[in-house]
Chains A and B, each alone.
Chain A
Amino acid sequence: MTDTDLELVRLRKIYPGGTVAVEAFDLEVKRGEFISFVGPSGCGKTTTLRMIAGLESITSGDLIIRGKNFTHVPTERRPTATIFQNYAIFPHMTVRQNIEFGLHVRNLSASEIKKRTDAIIDKLQLGDVVDAREGALSGGQKQRLSLARGLVTEPDILLLDEPLGALDANLRKSIQEELKILQRELNITFVFVTHAQSEALSMGDRVVVMNAGRVEQVSSPFELYTRPQSGFVARFIGRNKIIPGELADIDGNRASVTTPLGRFSGVPSFKAGSGTVGQKAMVVAPSEYIDIVPAAEPAGDAALDRARGTVTSVEPVGQVVYIGVELPGLVPMRIEAYRERIEGRGIVPGSAVELRWKPERATIVLGEA
């Protein structure tokens, strides 16, 4: 347990009006881990971050940082630093003064303050603007200043609240990389809140998906992408195709679902024993694993799961072609395929096609789609 940095134990937030913002959040974060919180707006991810920072009171549960309980400790006495979406630069202070501000309340000598400030200015390349104020800084500089200001206090945990939201796409990409490198170098735990799944997946060692105040799944990015544990995650993360139906059979590491298109199987996302035959369930397969072929083409591999449909549209975009497919009894689907795999195979609007995928690539998720 010694290398656990952050522990949330049934953390709850209920607003005075009775609205539940966060429901029983359990999480353990290892030292030096980069953990992302992702979810739609209002899902409770920012509220959770603010509870960790101490900017939002905790209704019940415990917040433990490096073994010490910080549930009711005020913000200024927590070993965390927070990076805000709008950076919250102190507009009446220069870059240097902004960075030094948090050091003045710590018992440090003037020379130590200067040493630390200079080091972080150097690290985050703010040397050219040390005497500038907020108005003279670019978006990227403000971003780096807010990071410098937080990191100079040497927090145990850095909390980042949608820190890239206000940047343009190119800058966002490069700062994403900088952040990741910085985190590896400093070996500080980062808690990173974002509404963009691409950010969460590319930056996080682990990703927490939240919806309506609840944690839907905590997984590595790859597992999250390929093995969703709930209908919400299946829809929110990645480009999954979902076929709803009823649970037909569970057999250890394999389960199957009866759907309007036939019976399909896959890896169950739920623990053995928690699903009952006949309950609502769905087959989820990442778009990348689904092949689209003319219906007449013989199946080479008998083990493939197959669904038959009619092409309604073909829309090429660069290397990729988006194919609208109507499947009996389902809402129309959009399948992506590489252009070279499609061309000359007679996949045109009106033609009959088959979707084929390996059952072991599919996941069986309980619940209504």
Chain B
Amino acid sequence: MRNFNFLKAGLGFYTALFITFLYAPFVVMGILSFQAGPEGGPQFPIIEWSTYWYQHVLGIAPPSRVAPLPIAEALTRSLTLAFATMVVSTVLGTLTAQAFRRHFKGSGFVFYLVVLGMMVPGVLLGLGMALVADQVGIARTWWGTAFVLHVVYTYPFAFLVMLAIFNRFDSSVEEAAWALGVPPGRTFRKITFPLIFPGVLSAMLFAFTLSYDEFPRTLFTGGSEVTMPIAIYGTFAVEIHPNLFAFGVLTTVFSFALLSVYGLLMAASVRRAKTKGIGVQEDIE
């Protein structure tokens, strides 16, 4: 009994430590983002509480010696890229996982081939891609070469998520649909897809977030029109100001908002599957 309590305390301490390391940087960043500006720097103590750096990020602060973050265009690029990557990777990942539900010749080899995309170090892949692109005369752009590498990188994640989903999927419902005379295409749309939808959401989330803050591959292949992570890195080289922290807080809040939407969608689809649907007669046409 005593030993057990000891173990419990140990695990509790470990958990506390874990949470501290997870959130402490964010808390510090959050506090420092309210530093006075433009004279206040990225360190304690807080000279005076203000929202100056938030105004600076949003471009509504009076001009000063601190250059504004080049976010407007970079952010649009990053979001566009992340969205496109998400769509392509999730579709590819789902289709590949669907193919893997039956064993086929060489499936083991294909599996490792796909998963290689997330194993190969990003710097190597980025550099290699840049060299190849230069050799064959393809311009390096965020929507071309970088996009391809983003898909190569995130597609395995989407694939693995979907593989796990299909692993637990009871295929007798599909067989039941075919046996009722429903062709495979319609069966996929009306039966399979609604049931794997929570998994598809997870795959989308993975692909989006991984692409959104991807750095090494984009650095080498993104060309001169930079994405958000590269743009932020670029400003480090000069000097760090709390406007970065303000931006960090804003993106984190945005991410949490996105996660909440995901959580709500997930909960809704689980509830729909479980409970009675009285009054929610949706169309299955």
The judgment on whether A and B are partners is: yes
Measuring CB to CB, which residues of chain A are less than 8 angstroms from any residue of chain B? Answer: 53-55, 74-77, 80-82, 84, 86, 88-94, 97, 100-102, 104-106, 131-133, 135-136, 146, 149-150, 153, 159
For A106, what are the chain B residues with a Cβ–Cβ distance below 8 Å? 181
Bound complex: CA of A278 vs CA of B282, how far in Å? 73
Q: Considering the chains assembled together, what is the distance between the CA atoms of A55 and B172 in angstroms?
A: 10
Whether B195 sits at the interface, judged by CB under 8 Å, is yes
Complex: chain B residue closest to A161, CB-CB: B172
Q: How large is the interface on B (under 10, 10 to 19, 20 to 34, 35 or more residues)?
A: 20 to 34
* Chain A contacts for B190, CB-based, 8 A: 101
A106 to B177, CA, bound (A): 13
Q: Tell me whether B239 is interfacial, beta carbon within 8 Å.
A: no
Contact (Cβ within 8 A) A133 B275: yes
The 25 sampled A-B contact pairs (Cβ below 8 Å) are A53-B175, A53-B179, A54-B178, A54-B179, A55-B178, A77-B181, A81-B179, A82-B176, A86-B172, A90-B173, A92-B195, A92-B272, A93-B284, A97-B284, A100-B284, A104-B182, A105-B180, A131-B276, A131-B277, A131-B281, A132-B278, A133-B276, A135-B276, A136-B275, A150-B180
Which among B176, B275, B276, B278 is the interface contact of A84 at CB below 8 angstroms?
A: B176
Residue in B175, B179, B191, B278 whose beta carbon sits within 8 Å of that of A131 in the complex: B278
User: In the assembled complex, which residues on chain B have CB atoms less than 8 Å from the CB atom of A102?
Assistant: 177, 180-182
Look across to chain A and name the residue whose beta carbon is closest to the beta carbon of B183.
A76
B253-277 interface bits toward A, Cβ cutoff 8 Å, 1 = contact, 0 = none: 0000000000000000000111111
Q: Which of A55, A88, A94 contacts B170 (CB 8 A)?
A: A88
Within 8 A of A (CB), among B141-197: 170, 172-173, 175-184, 186, 190-191, 194-195
| In contact, B175 and A55 (Cβ under 8 angstroms) | yes
B-side residues, CB < 8 A to A, are 170, 172-173, 175-184, 186, 190-191, 194-195, 272-279, 281, 284-285
In the complex, residue of chain B having the shortest beta-carbon distance to the beta carbon of A53: B179
Residues of A within 8 A of B278 (CB): 131-132
Point out the residues of chain B lying under 8 angstroms from A90, CB to CB.
173, 176-177, 191
By a CB distance below 8 angstroms, the chain A residues around B173 are 88-91
Closest to B269 in A: A92
